[in-house]
Structure 1
Amino acid sequence: MGHRLTQYAHGGGCACKIPPGELESMVATLAVGTPPDAQGELLVGLDAGDDAAAVRIGDGTAVVATTDFFTPVVDDPFDWGRIAAANALSDVYAMGARPVVAVNLLGWPREVLPFDLATEVLRGGLEVCTTAGCHLAGGHSVDDPEPKYGLAVTGIADPDRLLRNDAGRPGTPLSLTKPLGIGVLNTAHKATGRYSAAAVDTMTTLNADASRAAVAAGIVCATDVTGFGLLGHALKLARASGVTVVIDANAVPYLDGARPAVRDGQVSGGTRRNLDWVRPDADMTVGEEDALLLADAQTSGGLLVAGEIPGAPVIGELRAPGEHPLVVR
C-alpha cells in the first residue's frame, strides 16, 4: 500500500495550527514599529491579525507577503503539495492581491520517508503555482521528524483596494465562497483512509476568481477561512472591524459527507479548541453538531467576504456592535 503520509504527523493540515487564543497571547507583547531605514509604508501588520502583511512601496503598488506550511492533510504526496500551495496562495488572494513569486518550505524525515515522495510534494506545489501564474523558485528544506510543506509567497496589489479584516461596516452582507466540512473529512481520511474527492477538489481550488470578483465589486473587507474555522475567522473579523458578525447557520453550505463525519466523531482537536475559544464571545443558539461544523478547522478554505459576489451564498451580515461580537442562529 505504500506510505500513508497522514500517519507521520500528529495533526493534519491547518488543524495542526497553534490555537488562536495561545497565538494571541504569544504575539501580544510584540511591538511593531517602523525601522529607521524601512522602505515603504506598512499598511497591514500584526495589529488586526490579518491574512498577510502589506507595504506600500509607491507608484500605486503594495507588496503583500505571507507564509503558510503544515503537516500532511492527505496521504497522496502530489495532492498534499497542491493543497499546501493553494492554501499558502489563499492568504494573498484574501488581501485582494495577485501572487508574483513563491519559494518552497519543506521539512522532511529523510531517514524515514523516501525522497521520491518529497519530489511529488514539490511537483504538486509547482503545478498549483503554475496555474496561479506565480513563479516558484527555490526555497528551504530541513531534516524534520514530521513531514511539513508550504510556501512563502509575495504578491502585489493596489494599496487603495486591499481586502482587509478591519474594514467591515454594519449593514454589509457576508458571503462564503467555499463549503465547509473540509476538516472533518480530512480527519476521517487520516483515521480510516477514506478519500474524499470533493474535499481535495475544494482544497485545490484557488481563491483567485473570488478575490478578483470582490475587488472588482469595490469590496474592502474579507478574510480566508482556514485553521480557526468559520467561527474563529469571523470573530477575528468582528473584533478587528468593531462590528457584530451574525451568521445564519442554515445558510452555510457543507460538503457531502461532512455531517456523517461529525456524527462518527471525526472531529480534530483543533476544531474543538476553535469552538472553546469563540464560545465566551458568542451568542450561539445552534446544536453541538452545527457548532462543531461551523468551527471546523478548514485547510485551504474559501473567502469570507463582507459583500456579495457572484456564485457565493450569503450566510449572514455585519451589524453594529452589541453584547457579543459573534452571533450564530
Structure 2
Amino acid sequence: MSAQRVAVVTGGSAGLGRAIVRELADRGWDVAILARGEDGLAGAVSDVQSRGRRALAVPTDVADSAAVDAAAARVEAELGPIDAWINNAMVGVFGEFLNTDPADFERAMQVNFFGFVNGTRAALARMTARDRGTVVQVGSALAHRGIPLQAAYCSAKNAITGFTESIVTELLHNKSKVTVSQVDMPAMNTVQFNWVRSQLPDHPQPVEPIFQPEICAAIVVDTAEKPRRRVWVGSSTVLTIIGNRFGSRILDVYLARTGYSGQQAPDVTEPMLADNLYEPTPGDQGARGAFDDKAKSTSVQMWAIRNRPAAYTAAAAFATTAGVLAVTALASLGRRATK
C-alpha cells in the first residue's frame, strides 16, 4: 500500500458511512466521499480536512454505473490511486412487501445491491490492473436472516453475499492480490431510521441490541487496513447467523411474533425527516440517529475481533486454567475414592 493512502466511501455523507469517513481520516487516509446530498458531502469534507487529510466530494447516485465509474476516474485523477473502496450506500423502505410500491422496492434494490455491484466494478477495474487494493462490502446480519418489514433491504444484503463470493473466487482463480471483504453489521444508531420511506404507524427503530456507528466504523477500517474475508460484528450478528443455520423455522415463528413491534419506537415522538429514497434529504445529518439512550459503544465480541492476539492469548490462558482445575478436581476425587 502506498504511503499516501486513498479510500473511497460510498454513502459517506451520513450514518455509518460518515463515521467510516472520520475514522479513515483519523488514521491518516485521504478520503473521497460518494453520496447525493450536498450538505452532507460538505460536512464530510470538513471532517476530513479538520483532521489534516485531503478530501474529495463527488456527488454520485451509486445506482448509476456510469456515474460511479466517472467518480472513480475523478478520484484517481485528483487524489491518486485508490487503495480501499468501501461500499456502504443504502436507502430504506419499511413496510409489508405486498403494501410496498414496486417502484420503491426496485429503487431500494438499485441502490442497496446494484450500488455495491457498480462500486465493486469501478474499484476492481482499476485495482486488478495494479494487482493491489481492497474492497470492503458493508453487509449485515440481515444478509443471512430475513426479517419482516424490510424485504428489500434483506434481499439486497443477501444478494451482496452471493455476489461477493463469486467475485472472490474469480480473483483467486486469476491469482490476484486484490482482496474483497464483507463486514456484517448489527443494528446501529444511525440517521437511516429518521429518513427511511416508512409505512409503519410508529417511528422506525433498529432491532435491539443497538450499537453506536463509531465502533462499527472502526472495525470496517480495521478490515480495510488488514483485510479478512468475513467479519461478523457484534454477538447479536453472530447469534443471528449461526441461529438461522440451525433453527431457521424457530426464527421464522419468533420474528413473526416480535419483528413488527421490535422495529418500532412509539416513545420517539420527533418527526421523521423527508425520506431519501429518490432524492437526498436536505441538511447535514451526521452519523448518529435518535437512539443514543439505547445504543452501546462496544461489546466483548467487538473487543475480541479488534484485539485478536490478546483475545487468543486470553482464551488459551482460560482453557489452560480450566484444564488444570479439571485435572486437579479429578485427581482429588480419585484420592478420595481410594481412601
Same fold flag (TM > 0.5):
no
Alignment TM-score, normalising by the size of structure 1 = 0.30
Larger Rg: 2
Q: Which has the higher strand share?
A: 1
Compare the two structures and name the one with the higher helix fraction.
2
Report which structure shows greater RCO (CA 8 Å, sep ≥6): 1
